[in-house]
Amino acid sequence: MQLAVVGSGYVGLVAGACFADLGHDVIVVDNDQKKLAALNRGEVPIHENFLPELLERHRGTRIRFSDDLQNAVRASKAIFVAVGTPPTHQGEADLSYVESVARGIAGAIDSYKVVVEKSTVPVYTSDWVRKIILRNGAEHGEFDVASNPEFLREGTAVTDFLYPDRIVIGADTGRCAAVLREIYAPLVEGSYYLRPDVIPRPDRAQIPPPLIATSAKSAELIKHASNAFLAMKISFINAVASICESVGANVQQVREGIGTDTRIGSRFLNPGIGYGGSCFPKDLMAFRSVARESGYDFRLLDEVMRINEDQRVRFIRKVRSALWTLRGKKLGVLGLAFKGGTDDIRESPSILLIKSLLQEGCQVCAYDPAAHERAKEELNASIDFAETPYEAARGADALLILTEWEEFAALDLRQLRSEMKYPIVIDGRNLYDPEIMAAAGYTYYSVGRPAASPEPLPSAKTPTVGKKTHS
């Protein structure tokens, strides 16, 4: 099928590449000429596993890039809208980009089209998109508006798209639902997974994935409710971690005890410095705004957000307790992206913590495998950037681990210690076993676990690799 994807950000570019890999012909539309030129040269603007391979496989054949929305609409049977919906000052989703695209689509409808919301939008957006298209000259019956929310995690977005937990299609007519079912048929019927060049299957993937058909409004709510629930799990375990620190319990043991309950599950029960990124903070505010507009005071969401913000305050307090005073201290920082596997620094807890530490008078030298360039733009050269984790630790009064990159969980502890002024590690992601760190001569602080003190090092059995406790 011929498809158009409007927007070449994280969602649009991944969706376009994956639709092409399913066998569809895709036009990705954007008005950013620099981005289009880079994409046509084969450059990939985001750090995303398997995305370069898919774009290289299909660029110029099944996927092409254009700034001509109307021609893309005329050529396509379904148009996926994947433009940004940033928060306003009131916390509502700014839908002006969605409205602009809807107006552009209206003037190009020359046969039946399915307009699909792929951006995360509040309930009733499908109704408004339909009204805007009608107001701008389209006729009833010439189009339908559907909601097809994405559930992609940055860093694993390609495999999340091709091996989804579920596919949700929100359509209010049978004709519209049939088009969406046809688009996803290679996944739902399983034919995609029989190909020799298929993207590798991740653990726990369900093949084929279930397809859930709902109304458009239900699909819009499913996306916001899903993200709100996942953010709630993160805030819950962080609140539990705070209690563990107060009473001397170990949150990893508590997490295992509750996470093995199949009604709860262990995913998203990792204590740390809080959630970030482009989705959770924005979507929670938008969902709260929708609830208020509908007459419901969703105070649980207020508490989820408060706990998340408080987690950063608690971490700064932990750094201060380890170093006493902060002014003039040199800190090594591992991690700038909001999570491992991506170069995205939007609402990154690491960036927010670094800004707080700079205000306290600290000197910071940071390392991240992918997010250096984006962080340089955000931090305006106010910190130093290292080429390796060991360079970031050189001469540091303490080392802070703020992002859960896999390489940070497998450092050579002897080399790391030799670089540092004082062997103090403050781990905001609980990547190491406190006993191993203590045996390696470190004073080690983590989240929700007792601090570990150095022990004499056996000369022949000095551990050199830390034990990763979660991914």
Same domain, residue pair 200 and 333: no
Q: Of how many residues is the chain composed? A: 471
Same domain, residue pair 192 and 317: no
Same domain, residue pair 203 and 314: no
Statement: residue 389 has pLDDT above 80 = yes
* Peptide bond preceding 208 in cis form (omega within 30 of 0): yes
Q: Which of 214, 233, 261 finishes a domain?
A: 214
Complete DSSP assignment for 297-308: --HHHHHHHHHH
37 belongs to a structural domain: yes
What is the predicted pLDDT for the residue at 316? 96
Smallest CA-to-CA distance from 67 within 103, 106, 116, 27 is with 27
**What are the φ and ψ backbone dihedral angles of 454, each rounded to 5 degrees?**
-65, 150
Q: Which of 214, 245, 280 finishes a domain?
A: 214
Same domain, residue pair 316 and 207: no
415 belongs to a structural domain: yes
290 belongs to a structural domain: no
Mean of pLDDT over the chain: 93
User: How crowded is the C-beta side of 30, counted as CA atoms within 13 Å?
Assistant: 23
Same domain, residue pair 206 and 322: no
- pLDDT tens figures, 207-218: 999 999 999 999
Q: Angle, nearest 10°, between helix axes 349-359 and 299-323? A: 50
Same domain, residue pair 200 and 323: no
33 belongs to a structural domain: yes
What is the predicted pLDDT for the residue at 465? 47
Q: Which of 187, 214, 241 finishes a domain?
A: 214
Average pLDDT over residues 58-73: 96
Statement: residue 456 has pLDDT above 90 = no
What is the predicted pLDDT for the residue at 86? 84
Structural domain that includes position 379: 310-445
What is the predicted pLDDT for the residue at 452? 93
Cα gap 19→221, rounded to integer Å? 24
197 belongs to a structural domain: yes
CA 415 to chain centre: 32
| 279 in catalytic set | yes
398 belongs to a structural domain: yes
- pLDDT tens figures, 160-217: 999 999 999 999 999 999 999 999 999 999 999 999 999 999 988 899 999 999 999 9
Average pLDDT over residues 365-375: 95
What is the predicted pLDDT for the residue at 453? 86
416 belongs to a structural domain: yes
Smallest CA-to-CA distance from 270 within 310, 236, 316 is with 236
Q: How far is CA 245 from CA 241, 251, 334, 401, in A?
A: 6, 8, 23, 18
257 belongs to a structural domain: no
- pLDDT class for 455, splitting at 50, 70, 90? low
User: How crowded is the C-beta side of 53, counted as CA atoms within 13 Å?
Assistant: 10
Among residues 18, 176, 244, 279, which one is catalytic? 279
Same domain, residue pair 80 and 187: yes
- Answer for the pair 436, 468: CB distance below 8 angstroms, yes or no: no
CATH number for the domain that contains residue 84: 3.40.50.720
Which SS3 state, helix, strand or coil, does residue 5 take? Answer: strand
Number of domains in the chain: 2
The neighbouring-strand residues paired with 426 are: 400, 445
